[in-house]
Amino acid sequence: MTYLEIIQDYSLSTLQWLAIGFAVFLLGISKSGIKGIGIIIVVMLAFVFGEKASTGVLLPMLICADIFAVIYYNRHAQWDIIKKLIPWMIVGVLVGVWVGNDISELVFKRLMAIIIIGSVLIMIYTERKKSDTIPTNKWFSKTAGFLAGFTTMIGNLAGPVSNIYFLAMRFPKNEFIGTAAWLFFIINVFKLPFHIFVWGTVTKQTLVLNFTLIPVVIIGFFTGAYLVKRISNVNYRNFILTSTAIGGLIMLFR
């Protein structure tokens, strides 16, 4: 099939193209550091392509945006945190691959929404206490890593888990973004073969669609990078908590 035939074969309406374009624009913004809107992107693409298929459509665009993010924020990455989380994220991804064909998406979405909203409430309580204590329990990192790996494989939904973890670690804005950029670039590349060879959700057809949308990702990224510079650390933390909570509610009631 030619490029145009593949695009036409999707039979997408104008409204669906607008939804995809907006979601991909938000993806670029999200990867530039405006965290907490990832759930909205997942929901919009799932509306167009279906729950599981949308994960394969989204993944290559995530990797594309990750590349820009690691280049832009590389100097701020905290590699001791990345090395601590990656092994447990890999375990989570592998478990996600295993159960991905059997788990009830409806039950999973409801459970994740409750976990996300509960986590946000805990973080709001912590913020109001104004405590400078950083969690040191090794199981905190292991649990966060596993949950992030599992949820990113099942539905590209690791954002809320990682947001809660990085906020709890009291990272400044740029360290938050730089560490998350490298973390998810590594784990998204690790996920790619499973989407191609196990789930079959990344195909020639989806890659052609991804190629078409790359310019929108880039525009979104640099728009977000411009906005991040104008957000203070305090406002940045409040924005992440609020947008993550809204995303959890969207998932719960969708």
pLDDT tens per residue, range 52-88: 888 999 999 999 999 999 999 999 999 999 999 999 9
Contacts of 189 (CB under 8 A, 6+ apart): 63
Residue predicted with more confidence, 112 or 170: 170
In the predicted model, what is the mean pLDDT of residues 209-219? Answer: 96
In the predicted model, what is the mean pLDDT of residues 126-141? Answer: 67
The yes-or-no verdict on residue 132 having pLDDT over 90 is no
The yes-or-no verdict on residue 33 having pLDDT over 60 is yes
Percent of the chain residues past pLDDT 90, beyond the cut: 42
Give the model's pLDDT for residue 145: 93
Residue 111 banded pLDDT, cuts 50, 70, 90: low
- Assign 3-class secondary structure to the chain: CCHHHHHHHCCCCHHHHHHHHHHHHHHHHHHCCCCCCHHHHHHHHHHHHCHHHHHHHHHHHHHHHHHHHHHHHHHHCCHHHHHHHHHHHHHHHHHHHHHCCCCCHHHHHHHHHHHHHHHHHHHHHHHHHCCCCCCCCHHHHHHHHHHHHHHHHHHCCCHHHHHHHHHHCCCCHHHHHHHHHHHHHHHHHHHHHHHHHCCCCCCHHHHHHHHHHHHHHHHHHHHHHHHHCCCCHHHHHHHHHHHHHHHHHHHHHC
Least confident piece of the model among 15-19, 111-115, 127-131, 180-184: 127-131
Residue 181 banded pLDDT, cuts 50, 70, 90: very high
In the predicted model, what is the mean pLDDT of residues 90-98? Answer: 93
Domain membership of residue 212 as a residue range: 3-253
CB 67 within 8 A of CB 189: no
Mean pLDDT of the chain: 85
The yes-or-no verdict on residue 240 having pLDDT over 90 is no
The yes-or-no verdict on residue 14 having pLDDT over 90 is yes
Give the number of domains in the chain. Answer: 1
Give the model's pLDDT for residue 173: 82
